[in-house]
Structure 1
């Protein structure tokens, strides 16, 4: 497998990891509403009877599983995991019932577009997709740092 991209990923690998991804996303979406409440005001969440420690622990496990599955399939793609949720939150607001599925869709779309660009920009050679993503992701974060742009609501 290369340093980051889809070229070394086989259908067998995707089939082996898919149950982990689907199960983890199901749990994340199921806990999206309590997560939204916790993110707005943890004291209010406790007052509403939410088991915040339990929810946090379960979501930490889900995060570890999803990040591990992503790295196992395509390598280290840190900019996607940092950039896409920020952009999605800016577009769809603070409700994790929208952020979680939209981040999945937008992240997959972005990854496929970057991979397609990497395969066509210097054909017949392939530009590593991690390089394409870094070229887009680094200026994104430099803009955020330089301008102090508030991406989250």
Structure 2
């Protein structure tokens, strides 16, 4: 829980100008987001959303996407240190070994694709966090008990 709060406070949209204006800060933000959106949440939270979501709902499809295929392969590479920035500039590509295996083929992840994956993860996690919070303590409207 503290990791999510630190991420929200540190990387909230109001700080994006500062984050994107400094290469090392931007790279630290990407590292933090990758860990939070892929490593920390995939094995528990996103897989739980897959099983709890309505069969044809968007949460199920997005969560399945984020826990399988190309995203899962990058998640493993990131978790096992089988990746690196390539190129120069503020938003370099990421080169990684497929599925995090040392003998895996080398793949390239663009900043645009990574940003989409972050956005999908942030959205589905935020929606389900709100849903869980509401289920634990529903909003009380004045005059209703």
Q: With structure 2 as the length reference, what TM-score do the two structures score?
A: 0.35
More helix by share: 1
**Higher RCO structure (Cα 8 Å, ≥6 apart):** 1
TM-score by length of 1: 0.33
